[in-house]
Structure 1
Amino acid sequence: MNKLSARMHRSRHARAPHPVLFVDETPLHEWIKGVVCDAGGVDSTDSLVPAQGWLLDEGDGEHAWKLLSPREDHSSTIVPMLVCPDDMDMSCTVAVVEQMADGQNIRWVRTGRALDVVNGIVTSVAWTAPSQTAVFSREEFGNAVAELRRLTDEVWK
């Protein structure tokens, strides 16, 4: 089982610390691998920032928060997790996870890059191979997301 937490952290392209999810003590933007690679195969996924909190469009931001909340068991959701810090919208680079609720666990089944976004919702994805995967207890996942939201609303902004 993986560990999920949220705390303040300064990403590579940020000027100050901001709320970040950590998977097994690794910032999400470093944990997700291979989503954004140049023609030479150099991975720059770690240059992205969290979608939750960084999206300029309030509607897109609320979609990102809502999609992060687990759905019914045995259903999967494509969740925007990281975006380009220059544009801070869903039109540039968006790293996603396929998230599945399964009993007492939340699984990140695979990671990828959004190819198309309609009204703030990712409609097609280029999945990364091999892809990062993780399994979290539902309780720990909920606590981490709640802490990410608290840090975003009360500490960072």
Structure 2
Amino acid sequence: MLHTIKAARHQAKFSRNACPWLLVDSVGIEQWLAAHIEDEQVSLLGLSLIWLINETDEAVVKRRFTPGEDGSSTIVPLLVCSDDMDLNCTVLVAEQLVQGGTISWVRFGWSISGGLEVGAQTRWISGTPPVEFALDDFNLALEDFATMLSDHV
């Protein structure tokens, strides 16, 4: 089953205002992932694509979110601690697989390593089903998000 992903304005629990965000099946990504991996604390995390305090961290996240070649997988930092907004605290990652016109988040875990090494060492969460998106929809969501973010600033 393909899930939907799109960019939209959303107000996360920790935020005072709505801002550009990613939605999965029309739900904020942090709330959707909290339900998907059955961990309510995940709903308090921030989207890694926005507000990172370190430009190097920001570049890592953008590069890793961008789908690679067909048949490749990448460890993508999805959500980060909303207090610190960096890759050195709490980071929820997904192994992102590109295959035959789809993007799958095959498994989810907590990064043990931080900074540029985020996801190099990961404590994987067992029993969480994979999530699959159409590659074109995923790319469009990232493009729309980037446009919304540049208009927002």
TM-score w.r.t. length of structure 1? 0.89
Which residue in the other structure is 1:112 paired with? 109
Distance 2:35 2:113 in 1: 18
Which residue in the other structure is 1:6 paired with? 7
Is the 8 Å Cα contact of residues 95 and 111 (structure 1) preserved in structure 2? yes
Q: Are residue 59 (structure 1) and residue 60 (structure 2) matched?
A: no
Distance 2:23 2:145 in 1: 10
| Cα drift, residue 122 of structure 1 | 2.5
Is the 8 Å Cα contact of residues 35 and 95 (structure 1) preserved in structure 2? no
Which residue in the other structure is 1:96 paired with? 93
Return 87-96 or 129-138, whichever deviates more.
129-138
Is the 8 Å Cα contact of residues 64 and 75 (structure 2) preserved in structure 1? yes
Q: One-letter code of the match for 2:106?
A: V
Q: One-letter code of the match for 1:47?
A: L
Structure 1 unmatched runs, 5+ = none
| Cα drift, residue 8 of structure 1 | 0.9
Distance 1:64 1:46 in 2: 19
CA RMSD of aligned residues (A): 2.0
| Cα drift, residue 54 of structure 1 | 1.9
TM-score w.r.t. length of structure 2? 0.91
The residue matched to 1:119 in structure 2 has which SS? helix
Is the 8 Å Cα contact of residues 54 and 88 (structure 1) preserved in structure 2? yes
Deviations 1:29-88 (A, max 9, x none): 011137999xxxx63010001110121101110110110011111111000111111111
Q: Are residue 48 (structure 1) and residue 9 (structure 2) matched?
A: no
Q: One-letter code of the match for 1:143?
A: L
The residue matched to 1:53 in structure 2 has which SS? coil
Matches within 5 A, 1:1-157: 1-33=2-34, 43-119=40-116, 121-155=118-152, 157=153
The residue matched to 1:65 in structure 2 has which SS? helix
Distance 1:67 1:83 in 2: 14
Is the 8 Å Cα contact of residues 106 and 141 (structure 1) preserved in structure 2? yes
After superposing on structure 2, the runs of 4+ consecutive aligned residues of structure 1 that deviate more than 4 Å are: 34-37
The 1:25–1:36 alpha-carbon spacing in structure 2 relative to 1, beyond 3 Å, is closer
Distance 2:32 2:109 in 1: 13
Count of residue pairs the alignment pairs up: 152
